[in-house]
Structure 1
Amino acid sequence: MRHPHRPPEAVLRRTHMLLLLLSLLSLLLLLAACGRGSGDGQANDSEGAADSTAVAEPDEPDRDDESDGDDKEEAAVPVEVVALQTGPIESVLRATSTLEAETRVRVIAEASRRLVELLVEEGDTVKRGQLLARLQDAEQLSALAKARTLFEQAEREWERQELLKEKGLTTDREYNDALASLEQRRIDVADADREFSYTRVQATIAGTVTQRFVRLGDQVNPGSELFEIIDFTSLVARIYVPEQALGKLQAQQTARIYAPAVRSEPFAARVDRVAPIVDARTGTIKVTVDIGGQPGLRPGLYVDVELVTAREEAAVLVPKRALLYENARTFVFRIRDGRARRVEVRPVMSDVGSVRPLDGFAVGDSIVVAGQATLKDDALVEVVTRDGEPDS
């Protein structure tokens, strides 16, 4: 009978070693687990301490709560206001121009002669037909005298032929020849008289001599300019206004002329005529403003022109210094119950200092005129005087 096989002794030793290593490994794992638990406990203790600190903080004064309380108290914005009133206002078109004379002529020579006499100077006032200068005239005087003598002879011959015809002592041919000769001599006298008149330079209009272009002794020729005469009572200003204003323009409208070189006060004027067409190139309309003869005004003077296109005597007026502009719209702040309300303004008339709104405003409304730049709608305000003191 055979006995069971026994493991060798070396195998048993290896098995014991393996079991020992497994025991040590288990012990290490157990120790590591215990260490982790101890660390978690310490962290929990720290968190608890922090929690206890956080709970204790409310015992200190809450500064943020105090500042929040201050913000809830709205501060009043100081503003200056005016109460709306009624007054006159005009709608005005403004332009610039240079004064011109509608009646203005250049006196020219009508014959080739030498200037032998000057009778007027620049600045002299002349009447129509007044003699201004004289050209050499000896030849013309001689020709005129000769023509008149021949005319008188022809006249006597015709009268003689009439007497003879009544008595039947002349023929029709002789009578007709005498009549024709008389008419021809009359024409010769007229021609000679006209040539003589060319030696007499006369004013063609009444006005003021503004320029003299010749000197004594000059030889002048037909067409040579001798004098310029201007009628100062015919002064006008021609201005050009945008075509959008066409419906506002008409003859006899009131106008004002400002000539700073003469005086600060305006000169009265009126619209004389409005051009019947619009300049397609510039989109403007020519308006002629009649000024007439007023002391100090002269042709060539630079002036500012105002055309009054509309006027109201008792309109509710909003000061321009109260206006705010935003995206092509206009606003003001109106005070109601201690608060500023933003209100839109739709101007229909405007002058230097005020606008007349279309609607929405009444006499007595309080409108902010200083301090409105930083205002917001419905802001609490404090009305102060211009000196910064509260308005009592």
Structure 2
Amino acid sequence: MTRYEFSPQPNSDRLTQRFVWDLPNLSRFDRYLLSQLLAVFGFFALVLVSVYWVNRAVSLFDRLIGDGQSTLVFVEFSLLALPNVIRLVLPIAAFAAAVYVTNRMMRESELVTMQATGSSAFRLARPVFVFGLTVTVLHLLLMNILVPRSDALLREREAQVSNDVTARYLKVGEFMHPSPGVTLFIGEISEDGQLRNVFLFDDRDVASSNTYTALRALLAPGDAGPVLLMFDGMIQSVARADGRLSVTRYADYSFDLLSLIEEQGGAMRVVETATTLEIIRTDPVAWPATYNTSYEYVLQELHSRFAQPFLSAAAAMVGFAALQLGAFSRFGLTRQILGAVLVLIFLQLLNTTGASMAARNASAWPAIYVAPLAGFAIAFAMLHLSQSIPPWRRRAT
């Protein structure tokens, strides 16, 4: 049987002080509860990341494989999307771990025994707070370094793939549309790489529409990108003013394929691809020109990278504190769990509202910090309330 070390705290006036200053001196029970939280957190994080990642991987697979990309490109894109997926699930996983471990320890009388020996709710919440800070540090690392880096690499690779005309547009027997007003058709691709029966319609010119046909064609590298070399064909131009048709026959003709592809904008610098240190080092006056967005949005993004990670700690504390309001029950604490879920939804609404307000008005940036601060305040209030209600007056589910 495991022996737990505890420190009864009869003086409620010093609960908060002891809660903060005793953090480095974790007892055996604290380490036990912290290990349980971390283990369950790892499980929930793995499950949630897998669900999110599979959902994203399906759409990536359809888009990339459908465009003729290899499996290695699909795997690369999926791995680059992982940091952002992990960032999204961290608060939910921390909340789920705190609720699951607290509910199990209440059901198995472990927390009830600690409370009976004199440990206060604040004393029992100490390892949960340490657990929340651990998840917050991981969240800060993701938000400020890993996610921007992975987003930058992902956008760069997307820009490269979008310009890979060999994979995207060399499909036999299909009418392809590289950009509005452009239609490309290839009748056959021989074993030696020659394109046969090529049809190209370009309706982007304001003066005329041009139709290019060729019996055979080849792809060749050019200074600015791939070039389509067409042989034994003709160009039919129809003037928009009077409808006059002019025909030009040629033995060989070169066409810049990059001019046919609609600009994707994937390589454009955006604030999501810049690390926090890069944003801070950039002059705020130059933010709109540097990141192609408003000053308010960049400021909101910067503060969100510091505020949102603390939602993970707040969610863990709320999950633990809500269950302290219930009495011991072999059937669990259903009402308290539902209440904690409602509080988490409320905090998410506060977070979304605060971010929207800051994106519209630069002076409203403190609203971004309302959600995590409200989470800690609600958790503190529930812990205090759990000590004010006698155990025999609590309703068990």
- Report the TM-score range of the alignment, normalised by the length of the smaller protein: under 0.3
Structure 1 or 2: more strand by fraction: 1
Query: Which protein, 1 or 2, shows the higher relative CO under an 8 Å CA cutoff with sep ≥ 6?
Result: 1
Higher Cα radius of gyration: 1
TM-score, normalised relative to structure 1: 0.22
TM-score, normalised relative to structure 2: 0.22
Structure 1 or 2: more helix by fraction: 2
